[in-house]
Amino acid sequence: MRIFIVGAAGTIGRAVARELGARHDVVSGGRSSGDVRLDLAAPDSIRAAFAELGPVDAVVSAAGNVHFGALEEMGPEEYGLGLRDKLMGQVCLVLLGRDAVRDGGSFTLTTGVLDRDPVRMGSSASMVNGALNAWVRAAAIELPRCLRINAVSPGVIEEAMPDYGPFFRGFEPVPAARAALAYAKSVEGAQTGQVYRVD
């Protein structure tokens, strides 16, 4: 398969690229690195990336930004980052990438543990992750040409604990390589409309 991985330079993206790259042709994508450059928060950038990319069998998104902050300090701008980038960016990957993915191909999006286990300062991530999970289940019943869509919702990634550990006290970290197996299940399997939780 030819697989486009958005966010391939990130912690999860690198692990997914290693897992899938052992068996498939991986094309990397990202805002500041990769074979194809794109900005999830800019639909025109996504459209141009797919025009450059050509046909693929799967699109994997391991990207998306949200703002972490205390609820009392959050406003429309802070919430807007996650809505524009992680939520609508991944939705636009599907909407603008439908024609680039071959019949029977797949999309795999990334949410996260805060969809079900909230923490202080993580309300934006919880909101966006929950919305994406619901959208994946709904989109799965309408995608044409036997296209499939799933989400992976990993716990906090072990390799990211130096940066995110203070937000996730008491959580058991998940190695990136173990999370990558859920992406492989989505891409190489047959299921659709699933949220694969990796705790």
Q: What is the pLDDT of residues 137-180, one digit of tens each?
A: 999 999 999 999 999 999 999 999 999 999 999 999 999 999 99
Domain boundaries, the chain: 2-198
Residue 5 near residue 29 (C-beta atoms within 8 A): yes
pLDDT band at 122 (very low <50, low <70, confident <90, very high): very high
- Indicate whether this model's pTM tops 0.95: yes
Task: Work out whether strand 148-154 and strand 194-198 pair parallel, antiparallel, or are unpaired.
Answer: parallel
What pLDDT is attached to residue 95?
A: 98
Q: Is 172 helix (H, G, I), strand (E, B) or coil?
A: coil
**What is the predicted pLDDT for the residue at 158?**
97
Specify the CATH number of the domain 2-198. 3.40.50.720
Alpha helices in the chain (DSSP H): 11-21, 43-53, 76-82, 88-97, 123-140, 161-164, 176-188
Contacts of 118 (CB under 8 A, 6+ apart): 126
Average pLDDT over every residue of 69-94: 98
